[in-house]
Every structure is written in C-alpha cells, then in structure tokens.
Chain A
Amino acid sequence: MRLTNAVLLPGPVKVMTSFVELFGEKGYLADIGMSLYRVITSFALACLIAVPLGILMGTFRRVEAFFNPLVSAFRYLPAPSFIPLLLMWFGAGESEKLALLFLGVVWFLITLIMDYAKSIPTDFINTALTLGGNRKQILWTVIVPAMLPNILTAMRQMLAVSWTYLVIAEIVAADSGIGAMMMRAKRFVHIDEIMAGIITIGFLGLFFDILLRAARRMLFPYLESND
C-alpha cells in the first residue's frame, strides 16, 4: 500500500527533471516568453490608462464623480466572465488574451492609484497653495512627485493579479504560454510538468516583486521606508 500515487503526485526530483525536458525538448522558453509578453504588454496598457486617470480622479472631485461609478461597477464584475464575449469579439488570438488581462487589472489599478492620490497630505497641497502655486503647478510639482513611489507600489500589488488572469486566459484557449503547456501536460497526464508550470509562475512572480522593490529603492532614495 502506498499513501500517494506517484503519477498524480510526483516527487520533487521528478518535477525538477521535467524542467530539463521542458527546456531541452519542448520549447518551454518560448512558452515563458509568450506569457511574459502577454503579462507585460497588457499590464503596460493598463498602467497607461490607470495611472493618469487614477491621479486625476484622486485629485479632482469632478473627475472622480464622473468615472467612479463605471470603475466601481467594473471592479465587481469578474474579468473571466468576459471570456465568452472576448472570444466572440476577438477570436482565440492574442487580442482576446491581452483584453482579458487588461480588464482583470485596470479597474483595481485605477482605484488603488486614486486612493494613493487622495492620501497625499493636505498640508503638502496647502503649503504649495500658500507659496502661490496654481492648480497646474500643484499637480506637477506636488501630486505627481508625491505619487511616483506609490505608483510603483500599486503596480507591484496588481502585477500579481495579472499573472492569475494570464493562467486563466492560457488555460481557456491558447496554444502557447505557460498555461497552455500545463493544459498539454494534463492531456498526457504529465503531472510533473503541470507542477513545473506552477513553480515557474511562482518564481516569475517573486522575481518581478523583487525587481519592483529594488526599483523603488533605487529610484526614490529619499523615502523614509522602503516596503
């Protein structure tokens, strides 16, 4: 009698050796590259929208009043529920995956950045006002510089979520990427490769986290704390 089934729960050595096979014979590097491309492209697009919009919403009450109902509503809609719609609109190509990843993070990113913008000390703004600053000057010389470290923190927080939607996108319909590799492995009952995929994603997530933390320390040496 064995407590575990070696096929359904392969040992660590088996999982490690599957990496060799994946990289050597199964073109895993291309899969990882594809996944990275999807995460980074969609995330860059989300930031392009969310950073300026979040700052404006956190700064100007009217901008918030206009956009917040939309943003709040979308935050409650699970991004995967859009998959059937996105498949109909874009087909099973790259656009569909990028769109899903974009929808998965953009609303939360806007909200996070808006909240960070609101948490800028009122006395910073009041100081600039009593020194004779106008709204435009305050936006560019107080709010934006005060926001930069927070933007990086918000990005670090949301990038993790982006990886979640990547796997969903690649499991639903993809012939390349880490998620796609895992679905292929499932078909052939290569549990070791599925685990290798999970480990890869965990490792990449950790890598980006460390990278963004280091970037924050390097770019903003003046901060009191660097978390």
Chain B
Amino acid sequence: MTGNSIQSTQRSGLVLQHVSKEYPVKSGESVLAVSDVSFGVIENEICVLLGPSGCGKSTVLHMMAGLIDPTLGSLTLDGVKIHGPGQDRGMVFQGYTSFPWLTVEENVEYGMRLNNVSAAERKERVDYFIARVDLSRFRNAYPKQLSGGMKQRVAIARMLANAPKISLMDEPFGALDAETRWHMQELLLDIIDESKMTAVMVTHDIPEALFLADRIIFLSRHPGRIREILSMDFKQGRRITNKEELIETPGYIELERNILRMMRQEASEDV
C-alpha cells in the first residue's frame, strides 16, 4: 500500500502531495532528504511517522509546521497551501523549549498572548491545561526547577492551550528516561483521546509508535520515502491506554516483529 490512495480522496485536514526536500551540501551538489511523499492526516487521528534515523521524518514534520519549505510538491491544510508557520499547527520539540525567564503559568499562557486571546479565556485555558498535565503545584515555578518530563509537559500544555488544529510532535520524549517516557506516553494518549485532537508524531521508538498510533507511516531512508502505511487493525478501532493490555492484544507482537524487520532491512542497506 502506498500513500497515494489517501491523497486523492482527502481535501480537509493536512495533506501532503508529492513532497520532496533537497538540501544543498557542497558547491552544486545536493542531497535528497525526502522524496515524493504523499499522504493525508485524517481528522482526530494520531498519525505516527516512524523510521530509522536519516529517513527524513523530522524534515517532513518541519515542513508540515511550515518551518521548512518543500523543494517540490505541496502541503495544504483544509485546502489552503501551507506558507510558513502559524497558530493552526502547534509543535513540541525534542529539546526543552520552555522559556527559562517565564514561569510555568506564563509559558503556558505565552502562545495565547501572541494571539490576543482575552485575559479571562487565557486564565481558563491555563488553569485547565496546567491541571491536565499535573503541574498545578508548579505553576509559579521557573523551568530550571523542573525535571525533563515536567518541562515537556509544559511544552505540551503550551501548545494545546493555543488551540491548534493539528499538534505536531518531534520526538517529544526522546530525551527522557524510560520510566518518565512511559508515563508521558500514557498522559499524552489520555489528553489526545479526551480532547479529540489531531496529532502527528515523529519517533524512532517502535513500542512508542505502536502504543500511540492510530496509523503508522513507515519511512525508509536515503532518500526518505514512504515504505509502508500500517493501520493498527489489531486495536479494532479503539485506543488502548494501558500498556500491558496493548501488549497482550492479539496482533501486537506480529506487528512489532514486522516493523523490527523493516528497521533491520533499512539498517542493512547501509552496509
């Protein structure tokens, strides 16, 4: 299955059509990071971009955010061409991006201030999202007083409080230890499920992808192109928010094995 079947039918939401990205390296030469990627993000889904390092998944996400322009092809959101970054596409980065000079509360409020959201509504949304990511006790703390996981929760709350149409996440838990990571995944899945948001997440962590994804777009590398789109049929159309239950669900192990094989093939092509 390739991505083309989706792209031809979908108009609303985020759609990528024949997107390629070339980076200039030395004089005259260039490297193809992303090649002819086409797919659409379905409304209310969690779409995970998975692949080995160097497959261009982060580049694809940055193009969705409008932080990078594609060399070829087009990206549209609800039929409108993406032209630079905007409030409708929020993003959480792998590195810590909580502004150190703002408190937790001010960080979460920051995006709404940029967009002239009224004070009353700002307060309401700050209260809600700070509580939602379990940071109420730390609302007046500065980021330096927070752990890595807490900093990422601030970043997630800040993005969600800004009410984007789509949430983009670039390995948001990549810098966290295993236990924190696992808690964060459950929390994130809970929030996404509850708020019915649309999310695209980049990761190279297979269990993380299987846990969060409604659909996995597997990218191969050199150049980055869609190798396979995996629907999570074994979940039977629901989200499983408990890790143990997920692993015990029939079909999980088979899918994980398939993805591992694809990863291994990608790696061996290098040698």
A residues neighboring B (CB under 8 Å): 121, 123-124, 126-133, 137, 141-142, 145-146, 148, 220-224
Question: How long is the Cα–Cα vector from A127 to B95 in the complex, in angstroms?
Answer: 11
Q: In the complex, which residues of chain B have a beta carbon less than 8 angstroms from the beta carbon of A123?
A: 93, 95, 97
User: Are A141 and B114 in touch, CB under 8 angstroms?
Assistant: yes
Q: Is the CB of A132 within 8 A of B99?
A: no
Task: Please choose the segment from B1-9, B81-89, B200-208 that sits at the chain A interface, where 4 or more of its residues have CB less than 8 A away.
Answer: B81-89
19 A-B contacts, Cβ less than 8 Å apart? A121-B97, A123-B97, A126-B67, A127-B158, A129-B65, A130-B65, A130-B66, A130-B86, A131-B111, A131-B162, A132-B115, A141-B114, A142-B99, A145-B101, A146-B99, A220-B101, A221-B142, A223-B144, A224-B144
A145 to B159, CA, bound (A): 20
For residue B51, CB closer than 8 A to chain A, the reply is no
Enumerate the 3 nearest inter-chain pairs by beta-carbon distance, A residue then B residue, closest first: A132-B87, A131-B111, A129-B85
Q: Assess whether A132 is in contact with B91, with CB atoms less than 8 Å apart.
A: no
Residue in A127, A128, A146, A222 whose Cβ sees the most chain B Cβ within 10 Å: A127
Is A132 a contact partner of B162 (Cβ separation < 8 A)? Answer: yes
Contact A130 B144 (CB under 8 A): no
Tally chain B residues at the interface, Cβ within 8 Å.
29
* B158 nearest in chain A by CB position: A131
User: Are A137 and B85 also in contact (CB < 8 A) when A126-B93, A130-B65, A146-B101 are?
Assistant: no
Contact present for A223 and B97 (CB under 8 Å): no
A121 contacts B95, CB within 8 Å? yes
Task: Point out the residues of chain A lying under 8 angstroms from B65, CB to CB.
Answer: 126, 129-130
Across the two chains, which residue of chain A brings its CB closest to B141?
A222
Question: How far in angstroms is the closest Cβ of chain A from B186?
Answer: 24
Q: Mark B139-175, 1 if CB is under 8 A from A, else 0.
A: 0001110000000000100110010000010000000
**Listed residue (A126, A130, A141, A145) with the most chain B CB atoms within 10 angstroms of its CB:** A130
- Roughly how many angstroms separate A133 CA and B87 CA in the complex, as a whole number? 8
Q: How far is the CB of A226 from chain B (nearest CB, A)?
A: 11
Whole-angstrom distance between the Cβ of A132 and the nearest chain B Cβ: 3
- Cα(A126)–Cα(B90), bound, Å: 10
Do B100 and A224 touch across chains, with their CB atoms under 8 A apart? yes
> Could you give, for residues 114-134 of chain B, a 1 whenever the CB lies within 8 Å of some chain A CB and a 0 otherwise?
110000000000000000000
In the assembled complex, the CB of B159 is this many whole angstroms from the nearest CB of chain A, namely: 7
Q: Report Cα–Cα, A148/B89, bound state, in Å.
A: 30
Smallest Cβ distance from B160 to chain A, in angstroms?
Answer: 11
Interface centre among A124, A146, A220, A222 (most CB of B within 10 A): A222
By the criterion CB–CB under 8 Å, are B93 and A131 in contact?
A: no
Are A145 and B114 within 8 A (Cβ)? no
B267 CB, nearest partner CB in chain A, Å: 28
- A121: chain B residues within 8 A (beta carbon): 95, 97
Q: How far is the CB of B202 from chain A (nearest CB, A)?
A: 14
Q: How far is the CB of A125 from chain B (nearest CB, A)?
A: 9
Cβ of B97 and Cβ of A127 under 8 Å apart? yes
Q: Which of A121, A124, A145, A220 has the most CB of B within 10 A?
A: A124
Q: Which residue of B lies closest to A220 (CB)?
A: B101
For residue B182, CB closer than 8 A to chain A, the reply is no
User: In the assembled complex, which residues on chain B have CB atoms less than 8 Å from the CB atom of A220?
Assistant: 101
